Amino acid sequence: MEEKKNIILSVKDLVVKFKVRDRVLTAIRNISLDFEEGKVVAIVGESGSGKSVFTKTFTGMLETNGEVTQGEIWFEGEDLLKFKKDEEWMKIRGKKIATVFQDPMTSLNPVRTIGYQISEVIIKHQGKSKEEAKAEAIKLMERVGIYDAARRYDEYPFMYSGGMRQRIVIAIALACRPKILICDEPTTALDVTIQAQIIHLIKELSNEYGFTTIYITHDLGVVANVADVVAVMYAGQIIEYGKVEEVFYEPRHPYTWGLLSSLPQLGEKGHELYAIHGTPPSLFEEIKGDAFAPRSDYAMRIDFEEEPPIFKITDTHYAKTWLLDPRAPKVEPPETIRNLHEKMVAITAKGGIYGER
């Protein structure tokens, strides 16, 4: 992780805590991660693993009861966590780092026109006049695939379908040519064909506009299709990190094995789908050892006693499990995910993306 590449955003030892009814919950536990410029990074993990919270710290959008208690986030030579006031954040938020949220149905203000909501950002961040903003907004709308954009400029969100609204949300996010686009489960609320279109659109735009994309998703199909780099999160930590091929075809962490085994695409007719047993640990209590140990079929005694360090597998592939310690017994990943590549190729040979069935 110490390599000298073009690092656009660097997170160092981040800890985020929430106050929930007088109890303190630790949502992010000492994450360090570098984001390379122009790459597509996918953050995967189950619900509650801290994916969204992690990315929200980049734009200072934590809920009011949340707090970054430790760490640094370096972006363009500034530590974002030094920001105290909203005004400072506003130089970054929307302008340099934009976010696309999960539900396009509710992301737009229902009583403002589409045009207003796009040009508002252009006026605000680029200081353009109303007319210039309108012209640019229409251009953007056309770019994200809205037909007859000039006419639809004055329409309201309720007149748009879900997929079109997500296109508008993307247009708004891109209105200021951000350096980083965070896509917080951008396709979860959409149906499968629209998902593919939206993912394709984001991919295209990222090449065209040259921004770094951070995907938050629990759809591994999406990950395999678009990501360059995958970070697997569990209980507020990144437990495996690497290029998409590495994580998919040579996963090292038992949790990643579990996740991949759960892919519905790998299910066989007549057999029950695989599921990781148990539930994630409570984040209210201090976690001792490996957070995944109680649910892992490969847990060793040390997993319950001491937190594993991050082991380097290749220059780009890291995992946080004691199994990589030289003293650990040699274990093989479960049968289901061996030769995953061949299986996936076989599935996708029918056409479509991984996410489709």
Contact residues for another protein (CB under 8 A)? 59, 61, 86-87, 90, 93-95, 98-99, 101, 103, 106-112, 120-121, 124-125, 156, 158, 169, 172-173, 176
Of 112 and 312, which CB lies nearer to another protein in the complex structure? 112
Q: Please state the closest distance from residue 181 (CB atom) to another protein, in A.
A: 11
CB of 328 to another protein, least distance (A): 43
Cα–Cα distances in angstroms (integers) from residue 275 to residues 333, 345, 347, in the given order: 15, 23, 20
Q: What gap in Å lies between CA 116 and CA 266, rounded to an integer? A: 45
- Residue number with CB closer to another protein (111 or 349): 111
Count of C-beta atoms within a 10 Å radius of residue 23: 9
Cα–Cα distance, 203 to 8 (Å, whole number):
18
The residue among 128 and 343 lying less far from another protein, judged by its C-beta, is 128
C-alpha dihedral sign at 241, 246, 248, 251:
negative
By beta-carbon proximity to another protein, the closer residue of 44 and 169 is 169
- Closest approach of another protein to the CB of residue 188, in Å: 13
DSSP codes joined into one string, 236-285: TEEEEEEEHHHHHHS--SHHHHHHHHT-GGG--TTSPPP---S-PPPTTS
Three-state DSSP at 301 gives helix
Nearer to another protein, 56 or 252 (CB): 56
| Cβ at position 341, least distance to another protein in Å | 36
Angstrom distance (rounded) from CA 211 to CA 232: 22
In the bound complex, what is the minimum distance in angstroms from residue 69's beta carbon to another protein? 22
Q: Specify whether the backbone of 22 is left (phi greater than 0), alpha (psi in -120 to 50) or beta.
A: left
Is residue 300 within 8 Å of 327, Cβ to Cβ?
Answer: no
Could you tell me the smallest distance in angstroms from the CB atom of residue 62 to another protein?
11
Rg of the chain (C-alpha set): 21
Q: How far apart are CA 149 and CA 351, in angstroms?
A: 31
Q: For another protein, give the closer residue by CB, 26 or 117.
A: 117
CB closer to another protein, 101 vs 257: 101
CB of 72 to another protein, least distance (A): 22
Cβ atoms of 48 and 106 closer than 8 Å: no
| Nearer CB in complex with another protein: 109/339 | 109
The least distance separating another protein from the CB of residue 169, rounded to whole angstroms, comes to 7
Q: Is 84 exposed, middle or buried (0-12, 13-18, 19+ CB in 10 A)?
A: exposed
Distance CA 43, CA 55 (A): 9
Using CA atoms, how far apart are residues 61 and 57, in angstroms rounded to an integer? Answer: 6
341 C-beta neighbours (distance < 10 Å), count: 12
Q: Which is nearer to another protein, 112 or 357 (CB)?
A: 112
The least CB distance from residue 178 to another protein, in Å, is: 10
